[in-house]
């Protein structure tokens, strides 16, 4: 089976192709350009490198959140369009679960953290079980102090929240914290491919974005109106 996967949930845009369980091509850029400018050229690049065409893809996978509202809409919209046009199925993957697949099998608890601003991270907890990532806690938006207060065992953190919060995490839980190295820290479409194998396929119409918070414009409006979510 051939899988094309995209992740546009954060600053990094990434695309990958998996062919019969092996990553045949992957590209990632964090260059300040909008994902709408970069994602389709990246798709063309990884397909050509893998010796495949869009007609050869059996499953279109994408990270569905949490993450940037605009970025997620670009990725999900792109995959919907590609799949609709070819009457193919989709796989929607949690951005956090895909990040957990960046980490090699380990006995440690894996905790992805994505910078959600406002001193919060998007996070969840996962553990390897039989070679696959199993969910320990559901995705949510938390302040870093609250997250660390819940952790009572050795943890490996992964995600773009590592850099801004590494010092604070170390001060809160000390030696129980380990951090993914920089080359494994950010979103990778290859990991979206791996996570897609865990998910039952859905139709393009069923594919949707998962938001953990309201968009910034809605939050600012609610604050002005003194509405609390």
Per DSSP, 53 falls in state -
Q: What is the pLDDT of residue 32?
A: 75
Indicate if 11 and 91 belong to the same structural domain.
Answer: yes
Indicate if 69 and 130 belong to the same structural domain.
Answer: no
Specify the pairing of strand 109-117 against strand 120-129. antiparallel
Indicate if 88 and 117 belong to the same structural domain.
Answer: no
In a domain, 38, yes or no: yes
Look up the domain containing 165 and give its range: 107-184
SS3 126: strand
As given in the structure block, the two tokens for residue 86 are 């070819």
Q: What is the pLDDT of residue 83?
A: 98
pTM here is 0.92
Indicate if 60 and 170 belong to the same structural domain.
Answer: no
CATH of the domain at 65: 3.30.420.40
Q: What is the pLDDT of residue 217?
A: 44
What's the total number of domains in the chain?
2
Indicate if 60 and 75 belong to the same structural domain.
Answer: yes
Indicate if 83 and 112 belong to the same structural domain.
Answer: no
- Each of the 229 residues of the chain gets a pLDDT tens digit; together they read 999 999 999 999 999 999 999 999 999 998 877 899 999 999 999 999 999 999 999 999 999 999 999 999 999 999 999 999 999 999 999 999 999 999 999 999 999 999 998 889 999 999 999 999 999 999 999 999 999 999 999 999 999 999 999 999 999 999 999 999 999 999 999 999 999 999 899 999 999 999 986 555 444 444 555 655 5
In a domain, 227, yes or no: no
As given in the structure block, the two tokens for residue 1 are 């089976």
In a domain, 101, yes or no: no
In a domain, 79, yes or no: yes
Indicate if 162 and 200 belong to the same structural domain.
Answer: no
């Amino acid at each position: 089976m051939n899988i094309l996967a995209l992740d546009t949930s954060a600053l990094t845009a990434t695309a990958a192709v998996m062919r019969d369980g092996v990553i045949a091509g992957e590209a990632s850029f964090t260059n300040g350009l909008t994902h709408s400018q970069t994602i389709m050229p990246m798709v063309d690049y990884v397909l050509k490198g893998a010796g495949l065409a869009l007609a050869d893809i059996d499953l279109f996978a994408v990270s569905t959140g949490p993450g940037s509202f605009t970025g997620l809409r670009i990725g999900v919209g792109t995959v919907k369009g590609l799949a609709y046009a070819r009457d193919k199925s989709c796989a929607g993957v949690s951005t956090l679960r895909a990040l957990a697949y960046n980490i090699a099998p380990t006995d440690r608890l894996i905790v992805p953290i994505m910078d959600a601003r406002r001193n919060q991270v998007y996070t969840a907890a996962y553990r390897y079980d039989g070679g696959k990532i199993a969910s320990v806690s559901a995705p949510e938006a938390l302040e870093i102090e609250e997250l660390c207060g819940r952790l009572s065992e050795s943890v490996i953190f992964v995600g773009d929240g590592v850099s801004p919060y590494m010092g604070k995490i170390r001060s809160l839980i000390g030696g129980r914290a380990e951090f993914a190295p920089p080359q494994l820290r950010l979103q990778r479409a290859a990991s979206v491919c791996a996570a897609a194998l865990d998910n039952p396929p859905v139709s393009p119409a069923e594919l949707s974005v998962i938001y953990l918070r309201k968009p910034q414009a809605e939050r600012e409006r609610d604050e002005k109106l003194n509405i609390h979510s």
